[in-house]
Structures are given as C-alpha cells and as structure tokens.
Structure 1
C-alpha cells in the first residue's frame, strides 16, 4: 500500500495534530518531495517531531523512508515506468499480486483518484471557467501522455465555441503558435510528472507575451501550476506502470460542462448547429 493510501485509510484514527499534518501532506505532496523535513514542517505550521511521529504511526522507520515512498509514488525515480512494470511482473510471478487482484486494484485506484480530484478542485473550479470565458483566444497543449486530455478538451470545446487552437507539435510547429500569443489570450497547459520540455517552452513564450496561463496538472507544486493563474489538479496514482489520466479527463469534462452552462443558450445553439452538421455530413456510421 502506498503512503497516500495509508494516510487516507488511517486518517480518521489520527489525533487532531497528526490529522492536520496528514491533510497538509495530501494537499502538498510535491512540496513534501522537494523540501527538507524541517522546511516542510515550517510550511505546515507543525513541529518536525510531529511529522516524524506521523510517519512512524503509519509503519515507517522514519521521515526519510516515508518521503522516499512518495518519491516512488510520483514516478520521480530513474526509469520509473520500467521499474513499476518490473514490479508488476515480479508480483505476478511470485503470486503476491494475482491478476484478478491487480484488476480490482486498478479500478479501486481510479475511484480514489476521482474522489481526490473532486476534493482538490471545488474551490477553484468557477475561477478557472471564468478565465477561459473571458479570453479572446484559447490555446491548449499537452504532449506525450497528456495529449489525450488536451485533445478531448479541444474537440468538445469546438462543438460550441471556435476560439481555440490545439498546439500539437506536428512537424515541430511550436514556434508558429508561440509567435501569435498576445496579452488577450489564455494558454492551457496540460501535463504530469515527468513534465515535457515542450510544455515548459510554451509557458515561457506565454509569459513573454503576457498571456494568461492555466494549468491542468498533477500538483500545485508542478512547474505548470507554479506559473498559472489557476490550476485544476488531478491524481495520477494507480497500480499500472504508467500514470493514470482518467481523473484528468474527468476534471476536463467537468470544466467543459461548466463552461457550456456559463455560455448559456448561445452555446446550446452553436452545439445544435455543429451536431446537425455532423449528422448530415455522414460523419457517424448509420447502417439504415
């Protein structure tokens, strides 16, 4: 069981002081990884001894072992995908984790990811939508594993509004988009650890153009969120070797639904026009 799951499972049994520390850890996992125990305790407004006591109450020998487990959980080791894949195979070969158990763990992790994602974004959700709604033009990018999230936002958004551009990096065309950024535009960057260098270059170009930056990412301490006006945070935990993007897709779908509701009847009318066109064009299979 990973340290996040241990915190959640034992949360209700902790003392008020340890409970407050546990909540701070769950809300600031990335900072736990990069800060010393003393610096992290100062940010959490608790004593370092409190963090040590919490780690030991969860079965760890000390803070360093607890922190080390979070580093592994976040996929920040060398060859993280390979290491996790090898661990799955080793467990299957030794019968420590039979395939039917792995199947159940996968869906349990997705449910937990959705719960955490819902909790983390409720207070910023409307702000994120307001920024998008007041943008002259919207750009969105997500590279490598985060591309499906960016593409799904782009595709659905285009059904009721047209002021959006997908930065897909096709033929290394990033510069063609960067040169068009203005202070009236908003750039949505999507990504999770390890973060793509291309995403960072988009952020720097947006900053140079004074564009507004929004992030859909895995942590408030990620380089995407650190440079964003507002961020939607999704959890990527799971028993597979690759980070899960299910909750990233879900929070994006929620954001699109909220945006359509804000756009009102005009959005519904635009959606109706596009839907009629798709049906009339034969885009969908019909065997009648």
Structure 2
C-alpha cells in the first residue's frame, strides 16, 4: 500500500475499526478497544509497547494493522498521529513526555527524532513541487512570507536570507499592524509562502484564502496534506514534524527553508556575488563584525 492512501485513510480509521470489530480475533479486539478509548496515546506507542499494554504479542499488533489494510504498524501509527495532530492540547502534549526520565534521555530522544524527521522528509518530499517553488520565487513580482506563532521563526529565517538574494520580499508580521493591511495589494504576479504547523492557526488559513482569491500563487510549508493551508496551496512542501513532546520539531522545516534559499541563490549566483561584495565593503567600513 502506498503512503498517500495510508494518509488519506486516516480520516476514517476510527469508523473502520468499529466496522471491522466483529471480525477481529480476541487479541485484536483488545487492541481495538484500547485504541478507540486511547488513540491519542497509541499514536506515540511502539508496537511492542501497545502489545504489552493490552496483553498481546507484538506480532498480534502487526497483524491488527494489516487487518485494517495498512502495510505495517508504522503506517497505522502515522494515521493515528494525523488524526490527533491538531487536537492535542498543550497539557496532553506535556503528559506524552512523562517517559523522559532524565536530561540525557531527553537529549537522545529529541535529536534522534529530529534526524528521523529529516530522513523522512527527504524520502517523501515532492521534488517537482520544490523545483517549481524555487522558480516561482524568482519570477514573482513580490514575495510574501507568513508564519504564525512558532512557525514565525521559520518564516523570519526564510525571509531574512531571501531578502539578501532578492529585493521584493515581505515578511508578514503581527506586530506591524493587521496582517490583511500588509497584503491588501497582493495579486496574481505575487507568491505567498505559508509556513504552518500544529496547532494550525485559523488566521493563517484566512490570510492564505484571501491571497488565493486574488490569484496569488501559494506555496505551503507544512507537515500534512490535511493542514488547512495545504488544501488551497498550489505547491506543498511536506515535512515530517512528529512531536517529541509539547514542542514540535521545526528542524526539518528549517532544512527545507535552507534548501529553498540555496536553490534560489544558485539561480542568481552572479547577482548575489556582487551583492555580497557590496555588503562586505559596508561591513568593513562600519566595523559590523569583529
């Protein structure tokens, strides 16, 4: 089974479990009952942990995932994560982290999780969407970059470096007046990059919808095809952002931002070389750096 089908099927996962329940074996029924009552916890359990919790073998858990039509337990787990990604409260996320026994365990788990997320992003990202995004940025009359709450860190980083390469970049800021006032002149020759991660901001979706109505090309940098901004984007750059705890992993998003900056920069190599020559002279004259 391909990953796209697994992703789409997550919306009806709970109803599928309920419908198939009478046909499950005794052990599978125990798993089904636990998932229906605790799917937010199961989403972050290994197959072994889930088996131990309900009193069945790990192989029974794997067969349960197969019975639901998934190619393996990780695909079932991913579907559960899609279901809860935008529903978890901050308190629930903190509770998910109670297995972190000490500081080194935290360091180890978080760094390994980030590495897994980057690896997964590289394997699954739409290469054509990435290439088209870089080309669209070069052709754009004006580039708007949007990111709310924690996503603003990625938007600001992306905007900072794109602004060095290009001279038509505007970061939408919440401390600079209403967001709609900043994009009121947005049009079909422009590009809007929307960075959006759970819990998804309603305001982001409203701004992207407004830009879409104006005919603007939308590039979304997000973690799911179910993300509100992805549903109306022209190009979606999907990154893995599995939660280690109450803090989302933005490391893969930063890596994609880096790649996008370099891809645009290499297409403008001669222009940015002159630009950096000019900057070096300014930095030297005014002693900007040690």
TM-score over 0.5 for the pair: yes
CA RMSD of aligned residues (A): 3.0
Find the aligned partners of 2:199 and 2:78 in 1 and give their Cα distance: 17
Rate the CA distance shift 1:198–1:133 in 2: closer, same or farther, 3 A: same
Find the aligned partners of 1:149 and 1:201 in 2 and give their Cα distance: 19
After the TM superposition, which residues 189-208 of structure 1 pair with which residues of structure 2 at under 5 Å, given as runs?
189-208=194-213
The match for 1:256 is: 261
The match for 2:111 is: 107
Cα drift, residue 231 of structure 1: 1.6
Find the aligned partners of 1:136 and 1:55 in 2 and give their Cα distance: 57
Structure 2: 5+ residue stretches without partners:
17-31, 33-58
Number of equivalent positions: 243
The match for 1:234 is: 239
Cα drift, residue 237 of structure 1: 1.4
Find the aligned partners of 2:5 and 2:175 in 1 and give their Cα distance: 35
Rate the CA distance shift 1:110–1:58 in 2: closer, same or farther, 3 A: farther
Find the aligned partners of 1:226 and 1:158 in 2 and give their Cα distance: 28
Does the CA-based 8 Å contact 2:13-2:79 persist in structure 1?
A: no
Does the CA-based 8 Å contact 1:237-1:243 persist in structure 2?
A: yes
1:277 paired to 2:282: yes
SS at 2:236's partner residue?
Answer: strand
Find the aligned partners of 2:60 and 2:113 in 1 and give their Cα distance: 22
Find the aligned partners of 2:6 and 2:171 in 1 and give their Cα distance: 30
Cα drift, residue 86 of structure 1: 2.1
Does the CA-based 8 Å contact 2:193-2:218 persist in structure 1?
A: yes
Cα drift, residue 69 of structure 1: 6.9
Find the aligned partners of 2:85 and 2:60 in 1 and give their Cα distance: 20
After the TM superposition, which residues 153-168 of structure 1 pair with which residues of structure 2 at under 5 Å, given as runs?
153-168=158-173
SS at 2:165's partner residue?
Answer: coil
Does the CA-based 8 Å contact 1:55-1:62 persist in structure 2?
A: no
After the TM superposition, which residues 84-99 of structure 1 pair with which residues of structure 2 at under 5 Å, given as runs?
84-89=93-98, 91-92=99-100, 97-99=101-103
Find the aligned partners of 1:72 and 1:262 in 2 and give their Cα distance: 38
Find the aligned partners of 1:28 and 1:269 in 2 and give their Cα distance: 48
C-alpha distance after superposition, 1:104-163 (max 9, x if no partner): 111111111111111222343211111111111110010101011100011111112111
Does the CA-based 8 Å contact 2:163-2:169 persist in structure 1?
A: yes
C-alpha distance after superposition, 1:182-220 (max 9, x if no partner): 111111110112211121111111122111111111123
Does the CA-based 8 Å contact 1:75-1:193 persist in structure 2?
A: yes
211-220 or 236-245: bigger deviation: 236-245
Does the CA-based 8 Å contact 1:56-1:62 persist in structure 2?
A: no
